[in-house]
Chains A and B, each alone.
Chain A
Amino acid sequence: MHYFLLLNLKFQKTLYQKMVSWSQFPPEIKQKIAENYDFMSRVSMRNTCHVDRQIVDSTKFRIPRVRFGYKEDKCLICIYTGIEKFLRLEIKKCGKGVVVYKSENNFDTSRIPRKFIPSENLLNFGLSILKSLLIHDWIQINAIEWDLDEFLLKDSKNSENFLKIFQKIFGFQKFHVKEMVSTPRSQETYQFFNRFFIDFSHFDELECMRDIFVHTKIDNLYPVIAYDMDVPFCGKSNYHTHLCTVADEEFRTRRRWDYELIHVINGVNYHAIDSGTFRDISEIPIQNPEPRKRTWDMTDVIWEYSCKCGKWSHEMPTSKERALRQKFHTQKCGIGFLCKEHADPFDYWYYQNLPRRLIQEPFWCGMFQGDVVEFGLKLLENYDEQAKREIQNQNPMSSFSWGFKPGEDVHITEKAGIRISRKSNFQNFLKILKFLCFFIFTPILISLISYSLFLAT
């Protein structure tokens, strides 16, 4: 019994003296709660007081993907927080300021409220928001995708200026990111992107770099074939990824051409190419558990595998076969992000929906080849109304994140998270009217009552 009494005493001391206030919660509970906040709740909570800021900062938050785009006086920040969940900020230059369009889980900017903010420089403004929202030690990002204006980057002077602007805004701060992704890198932009990826990420946390090419046709909007080529850079995997929505022979033969193209673009030794992986889910394979070996031009070796998910093959220079074969032989399924069963659910969803960007955001389709706007319009014609709505994510939302409610008057400043709410003039007028009524009518009422009392006596 003594044990219980001691426990009870401890309980009385440490636990609540009828405490219901948040400030009296022990930090470990606050931390446990903080682990469950969504992204904007964390941002909001960090701005309540410094104790809660520290609590939020002490818990990690993983963001599966972030997109940043800048071209033709437009800037885009899209933060994916889960499957079908994203926060989207599109900023457009307008006179001596910028107009910000904010939406949640919706790509359509025509229906969402817009806000004018005086700001001299669109890129600086966009980067400041990106920095204040995402460069923190508590945020770990799986992948950041950069869709930058290739025209600007082609000129070496411009690309240097670009880097200087990024350095000026970010300072010494870097992203905690596993994968840096870009739109296709050309001969002119290859060095810029590689330097950029290394400069603005924590090098020890960066696992790979990637550029993505999407080849699509009207017949199908889901990728069925993918091809990755790894050309390591600074000891990190550096992939050139092609996705194709149609399993045609043209794409299959293109691989060899890419091998040589990369050789030319990079100006690297042929032996810098580590390996290439070809993935195909277009047809159910005849299951052959035994890997098959083929040679190509005496310089390359191809190992072909298959399982119930699809078939895949790894191409590698003969010189690297011994080192790489061991790695590839142990894989149970090599379909990667195309495999519904084995891929990370977010990655699977993201890559499956990537070609739909032609319809959802035709402006931000740097990964696609050819005239994407025209192609997107053609695609859109092929769908009925319901399918269009589904693709454009116009489904109604039940609850919105802070700062993303339609009609909410919120200004995300350079110190994002500080909300300046502006009450309407009408509300102020009502307040003044109430104040006047109180001070004019109350004395009249009192004098009337006292006068009636006087008459009664």
Chain B
Amino acid sequence: MSSTEQGTSSAAPAEPTTAPESAAAPEVPESFYYVHGKDKVVHKVSAGALQHSALIHGMISNLGYTEEQAKANPFPFENIDGDILQMVVDWCNQHKGKPTPPEDTNLPKQKEKLFDLVLAVNYLEIKELLTYCCKQVAMMVKGKSPEEIREIWMIPTDAEDEAAEKEAKKRAGKEAAGETAAAAGDAK
């Protein structure tokens, strides 16, 4: 078992973020799954909420994962920051079984968080949330000049890009020359 699993399984029963159970179908008890991010904090999410994520939904249906197995082995998303995963889980819980509204105003306004969220949501394949996030990112450039966008989003100019590429090529060439020289020395 990997270190990740050990970490998560120990944390699993300790601090789950609960999701309200569906009131619409009380006779069928809803199953729950567990996910954790970089911070190893386990989040308890209902199957209904997880349906938003095509990736997790696919995993569950393909692997025939039972609730017990899920509790013992939460889905590890090692490269998603804990707070970002929390945001995603909250969103999935909020929009469980509901039609998604045309706009979502609760998305983060800070660039770093929003960019992280976009990448996480893209990976988890949550189509609706990705649409909102993309709209929010697009809104960030409204009224901005190319210079301002370059500054905010750290976009290098074409000249800077070319210079960096040339330098990388030079460095690669030097390294290759060094390696061949070392190989020749070894052969001698």
User: Which of A47-55, A350-358, A374-382 touches B?
Assistant: A47-55
A45 touches B149 (CB 8 A): yes
A49-B156, A49-B161 as given contacts; A37 in contact with B73, CB under 8 Å: no
A243 to B47, CA, bound (A): 57
A25 touches B115 (CB 8 A): yes
A16-B119, A19-B119 as given contacts; A33 in contact with B137, CB under 8 Å: yes
Chain B residues in 8 Å Cβ range of A33 = 118, 134, 137-138
CB of A202 within 8 Å of the partner chain: no
Chain A residues in 8 Å Cβ range of B145 = 44, 402-403, 410, 419, 421
B123 touches A41 (CB 8 A): no
- A-B CB contacts (within 8 Å), total count: 120
Chain A contact surface mostly: loop
A48 touches B134 (CB 8 A): no
B12 → chain A closest CB, angstroms: 15
CB of A437 within 8 Å of the partner chain: no
Which of A4, A15, A50, A417 interacts with B119 by CB under 8 Å? A15
A1-B5, A11-B123 as given contacts; A32 in contact with B143, CB under 8 Å: no
Q: Is the interface on chain B under 10, 10 to 19, 20 to 34, or 35 or more residues?
A: 35 or more
A364 to B49, CA, bound (A): 55
Which of B2, B131, B135, B154 interacts with A5 by CB under 8 Å? B2
B146 touches A44 (CB 8 A): yes
Chain A residues in 8 Å Cβ range of B111 = 20
A403 to B119, CA, bound (A): 31
B102-142 interface bits toward A, Cβ cutoff 8 Å, 1 = contact, 0 = none: 00000000011001101100110000001100110111011
* Residue on B nearest A43 in the bound complex, by CB: B146
B123 touches A22 (CB 8 A): no
Chain B residues in 8 Å Cβ range of A22 = 115, 153-155
A4 touches B76 (CB 8 A): yes
B77 → chain A closest CB, angstroms: 7
CB of A149 within 8 Å of the partner chain: no
CB of A388 within 8 Å of the partner chain: no
B79 touches A12 (CB 8 A): yes
Chain A residues in 8 Å Cβ range of B161 = 49, 51
B155-170 interface bits toward A, Cβ cutoff 8 Å, 1 = contact, 0 = none: 1111001000000000
A15-B123, A49-B155 as given contacts; A44 in contact with B134, CB under 8 Å: no
A29 to B123, CA, bound (A): 11
| Most chain B CB inside 10 Å of its own CB: which residue of A20, A399, A421 | A20
A5 to B154, CA, bound (A): 33
B162 → chain A closest CB, angstroms: 10
Chain B residues in 8 Å Cβ range of A1 = 1, 5, 73
Which of B119, B134, B146 interacts with A45 by CB under 8 Å? B146
CB of A401 within 8 Å of the partner chain: yes
A3-33 interface bits toward B, Cβ cutoff 8 Å, 1 = contact, 0 = none: 1110010011001100111110110010011
CB of B34 within 8 Å of the partner chain: no
A419 to B147, CA, bound (A): 9
B87 → chain A closest CB, angstroms: 15
Chain B residues in 8 Å Cβ range of A399 = 142-143
A23 touches B146 (CB 8 A): no
CB of A155 within 8 Å of the partner chain: no
13 A-B pairs whose Cβ atoms sit less than 8 Å apart in the complex = A3-B59, A4-B73, A22-B115, A29-B118, A32-B134, A33-B134, A41-B141, A45-B141, A45-B146, A48-B146, A48-B153, A418-B146, A419-B147
Identify the 6 closest CB pairs spanning chains A and B, nearest first.
Answer: A36-B138, A22-B153, A47-B146, A33-B134, A20-B112, A32-B134
